[in-house]
Amino acid sequence: MATDEIYGKLNKIFRDVFDDDEIVLTAETTADDIEDWDSLAQITLITVIEDEFGIRFAASEISSLQNVGEMVEVIAKKQ
């Protein structure tokens, strides 16, 4: 899957999870930029991303995936 395709899919997931249609993700977006992105939301995000992309994250990746650029890299690697 091409990087911009991943961004597209990820963007939709973020909008659903945070119920905010104005979210536009960039490689620089981090948990600090989205108000509700706390540890609870992180679990929801991880689960939905796993389902949508058909991949599995490792335990160690949950806390480290706090910025979108890194997330996209990890997703691309697991494809």
Partner 1 sequence: MANRFLQIKKSKRRDRTGFKSVRMAVMGDCATQHLAEVLEGVGAEHSLDIEVFDADYDQIDALVLDRASELYAFSADCILIQNCVEKLYDRYLEYPSEKRGLFCEEVVGLMRSRWKRIGDTSRAMIIQTNYPEMDDRVFGDFANEVPGSFISQLRRINVGLMDAAAASSKVRILDVCQIQSTMGRDCFFDPKLYCTSKIPCSLEALCSIGESAIRTVRAMLGEMKKCVIVDLDNTMWGGVIGDDGLSGIEIGDLGIGAAFVSLQKWLKELKGRGILLAVCSKNDLETAQEPFEKHDEMVLKLDDFAAFVANWEDKASNIKAIQKELNIGMDSLVFIDDNPFERNAVRSLLPDVVVPELPDDPACYLPYLQFCDLFTANAYSIEDKNRTELYAAERSRRIAESQYQSYEDYLEGLCMIAAVEPFDEMSIPRVAQLTQRSNQFNLRTIRYSEAEISAIAASDDYLTAAFTLSDRFGDHGLIALVILEKRGLDELFIDSLIMSCRVLKRGMEEFVMNKIVDLAREHGFGRLVGEYIETKKNKMVAELYNNMGFTQSDGTYELLLADYAEKSTYIQEEENGDR
Residue 70 makes CB contacts below 8 A (sequence gap 6+) with 64
Q: Tell me how far apart the alpha carbons of residues 49 and 68 are, in angstroms, rounded to a whole number.
A: 12
- Looking at beta carbons only, is 5 or 36 nearer to partner 1? 36
Q: How far is the CB of 41 from partner 1 (least distance, A)?
A: 10
Question: Which residues, 18 to 77, sit near partner 1 by CB under 8 A?
Answer: 19, 39-40, 43-44, 47-48, 51-52, 57-59, 62-63
59-69 b/e with 16+ CB inside 10 Å = b?
eeeeeebebbe
What residues line the site for partner 1 (CB under 8 A)? 16-17, 19, 39-40, 43-44, 47-48, 51-52, 57-59, 62-63
